Amino acid sequence: VDQKWMDHIDAMDQLRNAIGMRSVGQKDPVVEYRIEGSEMFDEMNMLIQNDTVRLIMKANIEAGQRIERKNSVKKLQEGHGSAQLDSVAKRAQSGEDAKAHQQAGITQNQPVKRDSKKVGRNDPCPCGSGKKYKNCCGKDSND
């Protein structure tokens, strides 16, 4: 990829030097440079894609590596306790939700209750500054 990019940069430099002759043929050199430059860039991208596909097609994965990958995936699944999670899910579906959640260590989140009344944006700030809450302590709140 790096070599193809450097070749493209060199070709663009040569095009810039040669594009001046296009004005003799009554063509706008800027437009011609843009058109030919984009064609050269597309060609470079196509060459990079072809090389990438060629490398991928030549790559061989040995059968031993495939077996090792399957074994490692199985170990990961066993290590995360997927069997435990499956049994908990089955119990939860069968109506034993509370017991299943308790055994799995999952607690249901309870809503947070405020100790004091919610302060409105235009109410005086509870810190005692005398400013509105939105201009004092509530300035950075996203409520």
> Region 19-31: what's the mean pLDDT?
79
Between 80 and 36, the higher pLDDT residue = 36
Bridge partners, residue 124, by sequence? 132
pLDDT of residue 49: 93
Please state, in angstroms and rounded to a whole number, the distance separating the CA atoms of residues 125 and 140.
Answer: 13
pLDDT in tens, 84-134: 555 555 554 555 555 555 555 556 678 888 787 888 888 898 888 889 988
Q: If residue 11 lies in a helix (H) or strand (E), which one and from where to where?
A: helix 2-18
Bridge partners, residue 132, by sequence? 124
pLDDT in tens, 40-87: 999 999 999 999 998 888 877 665 566 666 677 666 666 555 555 555
pLDDT of residue 112: 80
CB 101 within 8 A of CB 108: yes
The domains located in the chain, with CATH, are 2-58 (1.10.3060.10)
Q: What pTM value is reported for the model?
A: 0.39
Tallying the residues shown for the chain, one arrives at: 143
